Structure 1
Amino acid sequence: MNDSSWSIFVVLLVLASFIVVGLRQKSRESQEYGFGGRYTGRIGGGAAIASNWMSAASLMGLAGIIYLQGYQGLAYVIGWTGGYVLLLVLLASQIRRFGKFTAPEFVGERYGSQAARAIAAAISIAISIIYCVAQFKGIGLIFSFMFGIDYQQGVTYGALAVVSYLVISGMLGVPRNQQLQYLVISVSFIVPLMWLARKLGYFWLLPQFGYGRALTDLSRQFNIDFTLPFANGSLYQWCALCFTLMVGTAGLPHVLSRFYTVPNVRDARWSVVWGLFFIALIYWSAPAFSVFGRLLEARSGLIPDPAAARDAADVIALKTAVWAGLPGWLVGVLAAGALSAAFFTVAGLLMTGAASISHDIYYSMVNRSASESARMQVAKGGTLVLAAIVLLLALDPPGLIAEITAVAFALAGNTIFPLFLLGIWWGRANRYGAIAGMLTGIVCTAIAPLCGGIFPQLALLFPVTSSALLGAPLVIAVMIAVSLATPAPSEEMGRFLEKEVHGHLD
């Protein structure tokens, strides 16, 4: 086999393993389709959280955005990891004590409103669709890069593979499988990076630190300064993006639902701590791929124009491995890791969206007597519909992987996060405030693409990827004002929050 054949063989082997796992994990109950999962300890729970989090945005988009923007791209690293600290401090244990399956279910129960639950379900579905578009783009780029086909063909074949797996297996977010997935993803990302650092002559045992010399070489030899602050954006843009990604992380429905599978509050906290550590291992590695890619370009005399650099950004990790002459099987391992991350993230997000359709809309609001098999059929049908919508949007993606993903975080940070924050920590928040807050959050997220051309100042204040810096505080203010102007929630809910959610330390 030549190098290209080895790369394709490794990727096909991974795809085949997905099918094998799917056949072994067939689910037949709606309890397993979107919600279920066994708990396997704090470290195992942390690995499951990290696996649930790793996506094309983490393994491809992050390297691409730093490759393009240097220091400015670090807002993604800080925002996405800092969001887990925010989640740990403000929400993790309280969510576990409240004990509802999904984000819309929490909203419906906490605020006592089916209308609020329906809006939250619609938002959860929208977040899943936007997030999935970024993952589909990653899958399409990997298929295109590895198999030499155009992007539209690659994303179509990738969508068929994901949907086939879901139809076969149902719930793939089983924690034991997710631990294995994290191991595969981390090894496939870090081992090629170590090989790459060694081949380029840098400290390879810990390339996450060893690439500092490469930064210096870039600056001294080629006058390319990756560390110059705000060279590709303003301080406001950096802070707005960082804050948006933090609150968005703490508001993502598929992340919040992870805490319902742990047996107690203490384990919920420690699972987040371990998950943050495992996530950081990957996030420390992505900037190294960016720097090595820029260095290899500069050494070969290839300084791409901005348009060409943007086209190459999302696959810069793979291109860097090829430019450095890594063995074909190792390039295949790297591609397989990125494919695994995107593949399982898509599946988990489609499950979250399908769960909102089946559990939060169909079962809770349309047919309370629906059997488990009927709910299962609705969930599978919802999965297919969502996948079709995502595929249509992904055929002509509106931006880079990281940029598309950031829009989903902005929507979550402007809507779900304020609802959970006030719902847990302020007993006076009521249904009217919740509904007004969610509607305000939707407007804040959509105002730049809808009105930015007419009112450019609004687009500067509420960037489409970074609108939560002003949007989330505005939503919180609206929720407080409307809640104070309308009747208080039930006394039973106030007692529940006081006794069950905040009434004891553990």
Structure 2
Amino acid sequence: MTDAGPNLIPLIIVTLALASFIVAGLRARARSASDYGIGGRYIGRIGGGAAIASNWMSAASLLGMGGLLYLHGYYALAYVIGWTGGYVLLLVLMAGQIRRFGKYTAPDFVGDRYASPMAGLISAGISITISIIYCTAQFKGIGMLFGWLFGTGYRNGVILGAVVVVGYVIISGVLGVARNQQLQYTLLIVSFILPLMVLAYKLGYFWVLPQFGYGVAIQDLKREFGINFAAPFASGSLFQWISLCFTLMVGTAGLPHVLSRFYVVPNIRDARWSLVWGLFFIALIYWSAPAYAVFARLLEARAGMTLPPAAAEKMADLIVIRTAVMGGLPPWMIGILAAGAVSAAFFTVAGLLITGASSFSHDIYYRFINPRASETTKMALSKAAVVALAVVVLVIAMDPPGLIAEITAVAFALAGNTIFPAFLLGIWWGRANRHGVIAGMLTGVVITFSTPLFGRFLPVVADIFPLTSSAFFGAPAVIAVMVAVSLLTPPPPEEVRRFLAEQVHGHMD
């Protein structure tokens, strides 16, 4: 896929799709700091579920997951199981209780629950770091897609995409994003599944539900070409697979921009039902990604053009688009698929930049520097923070450190080692205090980045705390630190414990 010029028809379709979102965003453009991630508007259970799903359907989901499945087969199902399982974990353990606290951001929750501005500040710093790492993966997807669409280099694609994303966020804010998320999910589900159905039909498989029909293609790969796509641990050990699954699960339950969806629902039942609907919508996409990977392998094998490992890895993040091209789909259908992928990356970046900006303007500036700041000042800082974060991400994304889904997994590891334990014990253990959460979060940061920090001197660290899978041992270690430090220090204020007992766990609404 090294076209010399722009892919005109897909480019037109992608432009029209993005223009429709921008028009919708302009109708709901942000006018206060609350529109930049602090608060928001409730849009119903099903609408909230669609917003959760579209907020979740990033470049890692529509591009990166297919790429990893294409490279590693069964082993990469850890991403499917981990990401969907994380929503089940969130539904069971935290969704309703988070709503009861009524805080607007993850740092708000941590700061108020533990009665510690310092804990809130550390949480804000972690939230910003998560946003930067996660955005880097999305920028890579945007750069590859825009480079393909315009027939230009990767770096030019990243720059162009960054300008468009930042412009949209500054203009419309989170209300535009939230409204658009329902429209976006409709585009995502159509753009991802319709081409897959046509591919399955052209290849002679069960096309009505290609998510089930591709199993026959796996058998054909093995019978015709000796490619065992379903070999369980050909690309990694059982321990690595379980560690990755666990890390992605607890990371999902700890991502700040996912948790923030539950602050705007009116009651605990709506919080839970929004999550149930979101999980259903997410599953529709996740059931489809493996089919693209299998069809890609089959089309390559039948054409006698199987790529060497290095070339395959370089192409993996665009394998979904490449499969559509190899399958001979018409340009307009490839354009629809590209529009879904672009919008997924586009709006995930928007949500992450908003989350990062609100952490700075509200949780850092307003709480610590200028508590009397006006809405105008907070608004200006939010916009400036969006630009600053985008510049940082752009610099990192110019030379991305890995595949889209691999970069994303690092953000999940950080969330699973820090935010998740803070929320879990903050909700379910009244004795957890500010000393414990501060010690725990700082320990989680060190654990997350222990491989690049200490791996060269202590190789065993990389085995215990892999960069993308460190929460398997890391999250329990952080919980143990929080428990030990909390028991060795004074308990939290009595009013906090009473609020937990009476308001969070004391009744049902």
TM-score over 0.5 (shorter chain) = yes
* Aligned position for 2:15: 12
Equivalent position of 1:265 in the other structure = 268
Contact 1:52–1:173 under 8 Å retained in 2: no
In structure 1, the partner of 2:72 is 69
**Does the aligned pair in 1 maintain the 2:6–2:151 contact within 8 Å?**
no
Deviation at 1:165, TM superposition (A): 1.1
Identify the residue that residue 78 of structure 1 maps to in structure 2: 81
Percent identity among equivalent residues?
68
Match of 2:174 among 159, 171, 174: 171
CA distance 1:182–1:307, shift in 2 (3 Å): same
TM-score, normalisation: structure 2:
0.98
Shift of 1:379: 0.5
How far apart are residue 25 of structure 1 and its match?
A: 2.1
1:411 maps to what in 2?
Answer: 414
Q: How far does the alpha carbon of each residue in 1:320-376 deviate from its partner, in whole angstroms, 9 at most, with x for none? A: 000011000100100000000000000000000000001100111111111111100
Correspondence for 1:464: 467
With 29-38 and 245-254 compared, the bigger mean Cα shift is at: 29-38
Structure 1 residues 45 and 15: CA distance shift in structure 2, 3 A? closer
Mapping 1:156-167, distance limit 5 Å: 156-167=159-170
SS of the aligned residue for 1:204 comes to: coil
Segment of structure 1 superposing worse, 446-455 or 419-428: 446-455
In 2: Cα distance, 1:239 partner to 1:392 partner: 33
Q: Is the 8 A contact 1:3 1:327 kept in 2?
A: no
Of 53, 59, 64 in structure 1, the residue corresponding to residue 62 of structure 2 is 59
Per-residue CA shift, 1:241-297, capped at 9, x if unaligned? 000000000000000010011100011011111100000000000000000000000
Choose 13-22 or 322-331, whichever is displaced more: 13-22
Shift, 1:453, TM fit: 1.4
Offset of residue 424 of structure 1: 0.5
- Greater mean deviation of Cα atoms: 348-357 or 17-26: 17-26
Q: Output the amino acid matched with 2:227.
A: I
Q: 1:3 to 1:381 in 2, by over 3 A?
A: closer
Q: Distance in 2 between matches of 1:361 and 1:309?
A: 43
Which residue in the other structure is 2:365 paired with? 362
**Which of 347, 352, 355 is the aligned partner of 1:349?**
352
Partner of 2:293 in structure 1?
290
> d(CA) in 2 for partners of 1:446 and 1:16?
39
Structure 1 unmatched runs, 5+: none
The answer on whether the counterparts of 1:252 and 1:409 sit within 8 Å (CA) in structure 2 is: yes
Moved beyond 6 Å, runs of 4+: none
Query: When the two structures are aligned, how many residues end up with a matched partner?
Result: 505
2:399 paired residue number: 396
Cα RMSD after superposing both structures: 1.2
Deviation at 1:22, TM superposition (A): 3.0
Mapped partners of 2:149, 2:457: distance in 1: 43
Q: 1: distance between equivalents of 2:166 and 2:115?
A: 35
The answer to whether the Cα contact below 8 Å between 2:111 and 2:117 also exists between their aligned partners in 1 is yes
Q: Whole-Å Cα distance in 1 between the matches of residues 353 and 180 of structure 2?
A: 18
How far does residue 82 in structure 1 lie from its aligned partner after superposition? 0.1
Asked whether the equivalents of residues 163 and 387 of structure 1 are also in contact (C-alpha less than 8 Å), the reply is yes
Give the aligned partner of residue 207 of structure 1.
210
Q: What residue in structure 2 maps to residue 425 of structure 1? A: 428
Is this contact kept in 1: 2:30–2:176, CA < 8 A? no
2:246 matched residue in structure 1? 243
How much does 1:174 deviate? Answer: 4.7
TM-score using structure 1 length: 0.98
Looking at structure 2, the residues matched to 160 and 200 of structure 1 have their Cα atoms a distance apart, in angstroms, of: 39
- Between the aligned partners of 1:307 and 1:207, the Cα distance in structure 2 is 29
Rounded to whole Å, the distance in 2 between the matches of 1:18 and 1:152 is 24
Moved more, 397-406 or 443-452: 443-452
The answer on whether the counterparts of 2:25 and 2:177 sit within 8 Å (CA) in structure 1 is no
Selected match of 1:114 from 91, 109, 117? 117
3-state secondary structure, aligned to 1:318 = helix
Q: Does 1:305 align with 2:313?
A: no
User: Which residue of 256, 275, 280 maps to 1:277?
Assistant: 280
